[in-house]
Amino acid sequence: MKRILLLVIAIVIALSVVACKDKNSGSQSASSYSSEETLISASSEPKDEETALFQLGLMTTDKKTMKVGDTLGDWTLSDLEIEYDGANKIQMLEALFKGKVTLKGTITRSGLMDVGYDFTVSEEDRAKMPHYISDEMEQKDEFMFMLTIPENVANAPSLQHGENQECNITISDYRFIFAYMTAPDSATVEKIGI
């Protein structure tokens, strides 16, 4: 009797799997998929006028809803990509700001890459940096980002891992990334004053 019962359960499970495969095969039109499947695929597409809420620095209350082309301080938002999950919550946001800003701070060898450097902005200059505002994201207590240092930049540092140095840098762009994974922000250096 147990064998028959197990055989019946196995057949029911097998039929359910076959039915699910047929339902999700590529032969059906997009309108026959569930609303959640449609939402996920549709929300991955870039929207015409994506917007996000930013502020300068970490402690200000002066927030601005921005779209590509808008300015905040010395920065212009030149690219904004947002991906949503099935619940229409932001899964990933990547914003590229163009501008030219000089910052004081500390440069160190990157902890994520063998070659490369990280920069931590001094407390006094944090108000020069754009910051994404979200209820889904913990508030930062510092600005740290990876540096891209072109070969033609004079005074490129030669630090070993664990070493750091105070300096002034001028950056020409800043890429901010909000994601539910490790994704460091980055900036391109135009000038380093050590």
| C-alpha torsion angle, residues 153, 164, 174, 178 (rounded to 10) | 150
Confidence (pTM): 0.70
Using the 8-state DSSP alphabet, how is residue 124 labeled? G
Pairwise pLDDT comparison (16 vs 110), residue with the higher score: 110
Residues 6+ apart with CB under 8 A from 81: 46, 50, 92, 93, 94, 95
Percent of the chain at pLDDT exceeding 90: 41
Please answer whether residues 94 and 177 qualify as being in contact, where contact means their C-beta atoms are separated by less than 8 angstroms: yes
Give one word for 162, left, alpha or beta, with left for phi > 0 and alpha for psi -120 to 50. Answer: left
Other Cβ atoms within 10 Å of 55 Cβ, number: 19
Q: What is the pLDDT of residues 31-69, one digit of tens each?
A: 332 323 322 333 344 456 899 999 998 877 788 999 999
Other Cβ atoms within 10 Å of 192 Cβ, number: 20
Q: What is the pLDDT of residues 127-155, one digit of tens each?
A: 999 988 887 666 667 889 999 888 888 77
Q: Please, which pLDDT band fits residue 159 given cuts at 50, 70 and 90?
A: confident
Q: What is the pLDDT of residues 166-185, one digit of tens each?
A: 999 999 999 999 886 667 89
The answer to whether residue 8 scores a pLDDT higher than 90 is no
pLDDT of residue 85: 87
